[in-house]
Chains A and B, each alone.
Chain A
Amino acid sequence: MSATPASLPAHWKKFLFAGLAALAVVWFFAFQGATHGDHRGPLSVILGALFWVATLIGLLMLTMITRVFDAGWAPVIRRTWELALPALPIVLLLSVVPMALIPKFRHLLWEWTNAEHLLPSGHAVGHDPILQAKSWFLNESFFLARIAYYVVFFAVLVWALRRGSFAQDTDRTAGHTHRLHAISAAGIPLAAVSLTMLAFDCLMALSYHWFSTMYGVWFFALSIRLALAFTVIATYRLSNGGWLDGILNQAHRHVLGCLMLAFTVFWAYISFSQYFLIYTANIPEETYWYNIREFDPVTGARNQWWGVSMYLIFGFFLLPFLSLLFYRTKIVAGRLLAVASIIFVGGLVDLWFNAVPRQINAAGAPEGFVVSPFLTAYLAVDVLAVLGFGALVVAVLLRAAGRHETIPVHDPRILESINYHE
């Protein structure tokens, strides 16, 4: 066993079994939905998984960014990120990979993979000129190859970043810090391209007519926001009876709070500019994506998604933004935890907003389709999926915490990090 002061790591199996049980229920609903030709069941798996894929990609990017900038505050917190990172390929393997591999699910979720699928216009997907023009990218074999690439790429990157960091605990050489600096410098642009493609494939391609070149940047902004919120929540718990007890101080909270404020603004900037350009250019191919998220195509009356968009503006941007402007919010542990929780919940709402609305064929409807509603019983399955994959992430984190040092004891900057001050 490790020298961890608390007994937290011993609980990893409980989280593993709880997570697997929750995911069994989620997968059951996915099968049930798919049998009835309903894409919403399988979508719950994608939503729950993408929530944690985004969080873990955010942690991965923060790990590499703090390496490249030699951030003095980071080492004690970064080790907790490194402990959680192996969950990234695991979550992908339990969600996106089977969804893409099994034709039944693939055809329901990614309509463009099913050439016989009929569009609201009455034409088959296979004869859609928009899809034909994109088919060099959106074809099944390239799609499956990309999904495989994400798993391999992120697994290798996580392995390389962890290996050097853990090796330093035993051999005490500073050379690892230099090598990890170089790995991170190369890893950041590669991971940026990979996470962009992953966002294209897993989220944007759910409505394949629509496209936005900002989408990867939006996903990155969301990832970092979720990762910082996760960090604040996790370090709050770990500094109250965990391995960061007596280590985490006010200045660490302050720097996390400042980063949360910065990426709240960045997320709003990216999300708004995407909306703003589409609004200004007013091209039907792009505007329909926002239209179905605002009003009924026939009557023009606001639909449920209008309320969701308003929540994103006021609950996911304005509330965290205004709270985090105040210094006290960034240093008082309870307040920072509250803001991080708001951001964590808002991240799921943002994923709902991006992934769920789609045009569903309806024979009687004037336009030939209805927009999938926000309020359905599947919201509970989505939440269960988030909790299930979350329990897996925590299980991975705790298991790793029992096998490795929980702070990088021989990192050259460890003293600077422990004594970090504003």
Chain B
Amino acid sequence: MNERNERIHGVACTFRKPSDVYHAAEKVRDAGWKQWDVHTPFPIHGMDQAMGLPRSPVPRLTLLGGVTGFLTGCLLTWYTNSADYPIVVGGKPFWSVIYPFPVLYECTILFAAFGTFFGQFIFNRLPRHHHPLFDHPQFARVSDDTFMIVLEATDPNFHVDESRNFLQSLGGQEITIVRD
């Protein structure tokens, strides 16, 4: 059983209507699933709540990047203008928080953008060049007229036959096993 599970990515199941997949998602959520996903041709409003998805953790890395950027800007302007090569410009102090402020907030924005961009790479587990679902014959249709729920084998709830029956009870149309 274990050997087979390792080669299985999960169980996929198609739905015809947005409302069907929406209510099915609520039931999967309530059954305590964590490793699973819903694929739809267009965004379905409220799907985040129906799936019980938490907010993205990316903003934390944005904040971290912003703070890092601000401090980097402070260090850069202080070291170059005050420590390494002090020079009087317009009678202003060698270093204060006022004159280099454009540098400080530009660095804040730049590093916050880095935090956001690379943060989403990390949390989306990118780069990734292939996914088992791409081999699924029905998968192309979820960008056209089909909705799909995939229960993944990595979830502790996963068991091939039980999961298949579970999806059937949710009103799924075509249920297939997706192999890695």
Question: What mask results when residues 80 to 97 of chain A are scored 1 for a CB within 8 Å of chain B, else 0?
Answer: 000000000000000000
B46 interface hit (Cβ, 8 Å): yes
Are A282 and B59 closer than 8 Å at their CB atoms? no
Interface string of B39-56 (1 = CB under 8 A from A): 000000110000000010
Interface residues of A in 174-196 (CB under 8 A from B): none
Judge if A327 is at the interface, Cβ distance under 8 Å: yes
What's the Cα separation between A282 and B92 when bound, in Å?
A: 10
B43 to chain A, nearest CB (A): 11
Are the C-beta atoms of A280 and B101 separated by less than 8 Å?
no
| Whole-angstrom distance between the Cβ of B65 and the nearest chain A Cβ | 13
Chain B minimum-CB-distance residue to A326: B59
Q: Which residue of A is nearest B89, CB measured?
A: A280
Let me know if B63 and A325 touch, CB within 8 A: yes
Of B45, B55, B59, B98, the residue contacting A279 (CB under 8 A) is: B98
Indicate if the CB atoms of B55 and A282 lie closer than 8 Å: no
User: Which residues of A lie under 8 Å from residue B99 when comparing CB positions?
Assistant: 279-280
**Which A residues from 221 to 257 make CB contacts under 8 A with B?**
none
B127 within 8 A of A: no
CA gap between A272 and B101 in the complex, in Å = 9
Taking the complex as formed, is A302 at the interface, i.e. its CB lies under 8 A from any CB of chain B? Answer: no
Q: Are B101 and A276 in contact (CB under 8 A)?
A: yes
Residues facing B in A89-146 (CB within 8 A) are none
> Which chain B residues in 17-62 approach chain A with CB under 8 Å?
45-46, 55, 59
Residue among B45, B46, B55, B90 making CB contact with A280, cutoff 8 Å: B90
The main secondary structure of chain B at its interface with chain A is loop
- Shortest CB-to-CB span from B5 to chain A, Å, is 37
Which residues between 321 and 348 of chain A lie within 8 Å of chain B, taking CB atoms?
325, 327
Q: Are A421 and B90 in contact (CB under 8 A)?
A: no
CB neighbours (8 Å) of A327 from chain B are 55, 59
How far, in Å, is A312 (CB) from chain B's closest CB?
Answer: 15
Interface residues of B in 82-120 (CB under 8 A from A): 90-92, 98-99, 101-102
Contact flags (1/0) for A300-333 with B, using CB distance below 8 Å? 0000000000000000000000000101000000
Query: Within A403-422, which residues are at the interface with B (CB < 8 Å)?
Result: 421
A267 to chain B, nearest CB (A): 14
| A282, B45: Cβ atoms closer than 8 Å | no
Say how far A407's CB is from chain B's closest CB, in angstroms.
21
Contacting residues, chain B, for A280 (C-beta < 8 A): 90, 92, 99
| A421 surroundings in chain B (CB, below 8 A) | 45-46
Bound-state Cα–Cα, A280 to B102, Å: 12
In the complex, the answer to whether B91 meets A276 with C-beta atoms within 8 Å is no
Residues of B within 8 A of A325 (CB): 63
Q: Are A276 and B98 in contact (CB under 8 A)?
A: yes
Contacts of B90 in A (CB 8 A): 280, 282
Residues on the A chain within 8 Å of B63, using CB: 325
Nearest B residue to A268, CB-CB: B105
Give residues of chain A (147-180) contacting chain B, Cβ–Cβ below 8 Å.
none
CA distance A421 to B44 in the complex (A): 11
B-side contacts of A272, CB under 8 Å:
101
Tell me, in angstroms, the Cα distance from A194 to B90 when the chains sit together: 37
Q: A282 and B91: CB pair below 8 A?
A: yes
Which residues of B have CB within 8 Å of A282? 90-91
Chain B 70-81 per-residue mask, 1 if CB under 8 angstroms from chain A, else 0: 000000000000
For this complex, 16 residue pairs linking A to B, each with C-beta atoms less than 8 Å apart, are A272-B101, A276-B98, A276-B101, A276-B102, A279-B98, A279-B99, A280-B90, A280-B92, A280-B99, A282-B90, A282-B91, A325-B63, A327-B55, A327-B59, A421-B45, A421-B46
Question: Closest 5 A-B residue pairs measured CB to CB?
Answer: A421-B45, A327-B55, A279-B98, A282-B90, A421-B46
Which A residues have a C-beta under 8 Å from some C-beta of B? 272, 276, 279-280, 282, 325, 327, 421
Q: Which residues of B contact A (CB under 8 A)?
A: 45-46, 55, 59, 63, 90-92, 98-99, 101-102
List 14 additional A-B contacts (Cβ < 8 Å) besides A282-B91, A327-B59. A272-B101, A276-B98, A276-B101, A276-B102, A279-B98, A279-B99, A280-B90, A280-B92, A280-B99, A282-B90, A325-B63, A327-B55, A421-B45, A421-B46
